[in-house]
Chain A
Amino acid sequence: MKPHPRTGRIVRLSETARPRVHFHLDGSPCEALAGDTVLTAILSCADNLRQSEFGPERRAGFCLMGACQDCWVWQADGGRLRACSTLVTDGMRLLTEAPGGWPL
């Protein structure tokens, strides 16, 4: 499979020689760098992290220091993680929307 076709909102300014890490976003393969947070990893190939539960807009994090709780994303196994304070690892399967069957 080809890497995720979209390019995200993040611009890498330095530290680009790190080893690559592969993960899945909404089922599509994506590439990140070792040491990226989940937030950096997702936003380097997509514009957003998740759908807001309370409004029409999508969300992409806000404080990046674990205080605002805007960046919780779903994992395919049903768990959630705070994207700004979790490092991406090889093989992660991340979702921008709740997995099927989750009552919202």
Chain B
Amino acid sequence: MTSVAEKVVIVGAGPAGIRAAEMLVSAGIKPVIIDEGIRAGGQIYRRPPDGFIRSPRELYGTEAEKAVALHTLFDRMVADEQVEYYPQSSVLACANRTLHALTPSGRREFGYNRLILATGATDRLAPVSGWQSPGVYSLGATQIALKAQGVALGRKIVLAGSGPLLTLVATQLLKAGAEIAAVLDTSSMATQMTGLPGMLARPGLVLRGLLMRAKLGRLYHAGVRSLGIYADEQGPVRIRWRNAWGAERVTDCDMVGIGWHLRAETQLAGLAGCQFDYDADWAQWLPRTDRMGRAAEGVYLAGEGLRILGADGAEVAGRLAAHACLYDMRLPVPDSSADLRRMARYERFARGMARAFPWPAEMVRKTSDDTVVCRCEGITAGQLRDGVDYGGAEANRVKSLARVGMGRCQGRYCQLAGAELIADRAGISVCEAGRLREQAPVRPAPIGAWVRDA
């Protein structure tokens, strides 16, 4: 078999997946692209459905040109039949060089010789008392609702957490005419300053962030602690918090958006055989790869599922992963040294950002026993701590005993808080508390799709 006859599959059609596809296409390869979105673009450059009329400038602000370039490139590759594109399709499992996916027309298997995973990221969540109430959403959800649907998820909104999305979503909502009651950042001004040296690798972005922050004025509070959401049957009614000086505050609201930066989506990478290392800056397990994104034999990673470097970094990582793939197929490749330099700069910036807006480890460790940690099944911090005491301080043991990580989201929104709580209870490091083993299917799958017709 010649190398060009090898089948390359890309999972994810965000910035990383699109740029990876572009490079493969330019080398004469026709990749399969499987994406969950209704339209390609990923999350940050998510496109509204047909019939929406806001301009790219309104949707993507300063990033409009980048978004349009990616969308145009992708649509052209699809129209010219340079890629085999499966939208609204979820890869559920990966074994023996075969992906098992659920497409709009049912179950489908995709064999591959080489696999590029560009699975992106989700919000990184920490448990807040009351966060299981209807009307509490992730910051990413808050932004998706605005961008892809033109709606606010409440009439009086509080945003809480830390990270670039907090300020960005707040300014976007204000501009669109939503009412924001408060923006609560758990990172103190002093902590934010510690990230500044690294963040100066991209001074333009720092300036843009500061200008956005200025627009929030007195709505923005740094160094916030002791968050607690109070809700009735309809949803949140107020949020209690302490300001940087310890004074208690109460803010009325009917919607709360929370999130602490992002968490790499790595379930398929794990199933495909990747190894993981705990990264202290990003406070999460990240896949082990070489600098091009090679993770295992024939498996390449790109974008935020590899490193949380933002959309620009994802584009570059997509090119590098495709580059590595082509090189391993013994095909000619362009020089990638400029992209590698870009990646190094983006990583300095992103690590600075991760330090400036850190995972709220202390807040998580103080989670009260009655606070829900697993939103899927309503399992509390107290039940998790009991699990640690009964069964030993290891995430997969605690999952078996207390079901934290067993629910429908498969630990995506409780795993990191769970590891923090296990580490605290047992007096060990978060790294020692361990990472949940991924299990297929990585999305809920209707049994009917696997039942063959008689």
Residues of A within 8 A of B (CB): 9-19, 34-37, 40, 43-44, 47-49, 52, 54-55, 57-70, 72, 80, 84-85, 87
Contacts and interface: CB of A to CB of B under 8 A. Distances in A.
B273 interface: no
B305 to A, nearest CB: 12
A34 B51 contact: yes
The residue in A11, A43, A55, A72 that gathers the most chain B C-beta atoms within 10 A of its C-beta is A11
A22 to B, nearest CB: 16
Contacts of A40: 145, 149, 151
A85 B148 CA distance: 11
Contacts of A60: 134-135, 137, 235
Given A48-B134, A58-B233, A65 B178 contact: no
- Per DSSP, chain B at the interface is loop
A10 B152 contact: yes
B378 A52 contact: yes
Contacts, number: 145
A9 B53 contact: no
Interface residues of B, number: 56
B245 interface: no
B139 to A, nearest CB: 10
Interface string B216-243: 0000000000000001011100000000
A94 to B, nearest CB: 16
6 contacts: A15-B53, A54-B376, A58-B134, A67-B409, A68-B122, A69-B444
Contact of B154 (A11, A15, A19, A36): A11
B395 interface: no
A19 B49 CA distance: 13
B330 interface: no
Given A15-B52, A47-B235, A62-B375, A67 B265 contact: yes
A49 B141 CA distance: 15
A57 to B, nearest CB: 6
B166 interface: no
B150 interface: yes
A57 B133 contact: yes
Given A13-B150, A14-B54, A87 B145 contact: no
B144 A47 contact: no
Contact of B141 (A12, A62, A69): A62
Given A48-B234, A72-B444, 14 more contacts: A9-B234, A10-B151, A13-B150, A13-B178, A15-B48, A15-B54, A17-B53, A48-B134, A49-B134, A57-B134, A59-B132, A65-B141, A67-B265, A68-B375
